[in-house]
Structure 1
Amino acid sequence: MKNLLQQYRPFLLFLGKFLLTYVVLTVLYQSYLNRFDSAANQVDSFTQMVADQTQTVLTLLNSTAQIESHPTEPSVKIIYNGKYVSRIIEGCNALSVMILFVSFVVAFTGRWKQTLFFVIFGLLLIHLLNISRIALLSVALYHYPQHEHLLHAVIFPLIIYGVVFLLWVIWVNKFSIHATTAAQK
C-alpha cells in the first residue's frame, strides 16, 4: 500500500490540492450568494456588475441597450434595440468557471509570483471574455432568435471553456512546476 501511495503521490497531491481549493472557493462563493434573497428576486452584486458591463459594451457597439431587474426571478433582463433578448442569472457571471480555473492552476503549482500573476491574468481574461460573450449572444439572439439553443448551449460555452482549457495548457506547459521539471530533463 505504501508503495502505491508513493507511486501515485504526484497525482494524489494534484487531486488533493484541486479538491481543497475547489471546495474552499465554492463554500466561499456559496456564502457570498447566501447574502442575497433569491426568493425576493434579488440579484447578487457580481451578476449585477456583469449586467452593467454588458450594457456598456452593447452601448459601445452603437446600439440601444438597457438592463432592468426581472420582476419574477432573480435575474437581469437585457433589452437590445427595444427588444427583450436575454437575461443574466447568477450562473452567467462566470464565477463558477473562474473557481474551476483557479483550482486547476493551484493544483498544478508553480512559483508563487507566477501563480498569482497567471491567476489574476486568467480571471481578468475570463471576465472580459464573459462580458463579450453575453453582449455578442444578445446581439445574435436579437438577429437569430430561432438559433437560441445552438448559440447559448453550444457555441458560446465552447468558446469560454475552450479559452479556459487553453489557459490550462499554457499554465501546465510554461509555468507550472511540471513545466520547469520537464525543461530541466
Structure 2
Amino acid sequence: MLKDFKPVLGILLRFIIIYLVLLFGYQFYLNSFKAQGLDPFSRLIADHVVLVQNALNYPSRLYDDVPNEQMYFYVKDKTVTRMVEGCNAVSVIILFVAFVFAFYKGTKTFVFIVAGLVALYIMNILRIAGLNIVTRDYSQYNKIAHDYVFPAIIYGSVVILWMIWIKFFALKNENS
C-alpha cells in the first residue's frame, strides 16, 4: 500500500527539505544584516518602488529607520507607509521555489524558476507601489487594500505560476 504513495511522498519530502533549506538560508542572510537596518534586498525593492512611483507622477523618497529595521515611503509630501522585511515577498518566493523544485523536471525547472522570480519581483514592486498610491490618495481603503487586496495579488500570482508549472511543464509528459 505504501508503494502507491511513494511518488507523492517523494514530492512532499523534496518540498519540505527545499523549503527548510531556503528558509534557514534566508534567516541566516537576515541575521547577517541585523545591525544595518533593513536588509539589502528589501532596500533594493524599496528603491525600485520609488522609481515606479516617480514614473507614475507620485514624487517619492525613502527615509531610513535603521534601529527599527524599516524605511518610510514619503509620497507627495506625506509619509504613507513603511517598508519592513516582510514586504519583500521572500517568504512567498521561497514557497514558490520549493513547490516548483518538488516537481523537478530538469533544466526547464531552473528556467521556469528564473522567469517566475522575475515575474514575482515585478509583481511585488507594483503591489507595493499600488498600496502606497492607495494609502496616499484613498486612505479610507488602506486597511482593505493592505490586508486583503494586495496580499491576494502576490499570493494569487504564485498560485497562477504553480498552475502553469503543473499543467504545462511538470505533468505534460504524463498527460500526453
TM bin, normalised by shorter chain, reads: over 0.9
Distance 2:138 2:36 in 1: 29
Question: Hey, what's the Cα distance between the residues in 2 that align with 1:64 and 1:97?
Answer: 29
Aligned position for 2:57: 62
Q: CA deviation at 1:41?
A: 6.5
Taking structure 1 as reference, are residues 65 and 105 closer, same or farther at Cα in structure 2, changes over 3 Å only? same
Are 1:95 and 2:97 an aligned pair?
no
Give the aligned residue type for 2:100. Answer: V
TM-score, normalised with respect to structure 1: 0.91
Cα deviation, 1:101-120, whole Å, max 9, x if unaligned, reads 0000001122x221011000
Contact 2:54 2:60 in 1 (8 A): yes
Aligned partner of 2:154 in structure 1 is 160
Post-superposition Cα deviations, 1:79-124, rounded to whole Å, max 9, x if no partner, equal 10010000110000011111000000001122x2210110000000
Query: Could you say which residue in structure 1 is the equivalent of 2:32?
Result: 35
Q: Which has the larger radius of gyration?
A: 1
Does 1:133 pair with 2:123?
no
Task: List gaps (5 residues or longer) in structure 1.
Answer: none
Q: Distance in 2 between matches of 1:88 and 1:109?
A: 34
Query: Is contact 1:44-1:90 (8 Å) kept?
Result: yes
For this pair of structures, how many residues does the alignment match? 176
Map of 1:23 onto structure 2: 20
Partner of 2:78: 83
Q: TM-score, normalised by structure 2?
A: 0.96
User: What's the CA shift string for 1:50-95, capped at 9, x where partnerless?
Assistant: 1111111111112210011126511110010010000110000011
Give the Cα separation in 2 of the matches to 1:72 and 1:28.
23
CA–CA separation in structure 2 for the residues paired with 1:121 and 1:24: 21
SS of structure 1 residue aligned to 2:68? coil
Map of 2:144 onto structure 1: 150
C-alpha distance in structure 2 between counterparts of 1:18 and 1:5, whole Å: 19
Superposed structure 1 runs of 4+ greater than 6 Å apart = none
Structure 2 regions of 5+ residues with no counterpart?
none
Identity %: 37
> 2:173 and 2:156 mapped to 1: Cα distance?
24
CA distance in 1, matches of 2:7, 2:143: 41
Residues 27/72 of structure 1: CA separation in 2 closer, same or farther (3 Å cut): closer
* 1:134-176 Cα deviation digits (max 9, x unpaired): 0011001011212222000100111111111011001001111
Aligned position for 2:10: 13
Who is 1:49 aligned against?
A: 44
Partner Cα distance (1:56, 1:171) in 2? 31
Asked if the contact 1:41/1:73 (under 8 Å) is kept, the reply is no
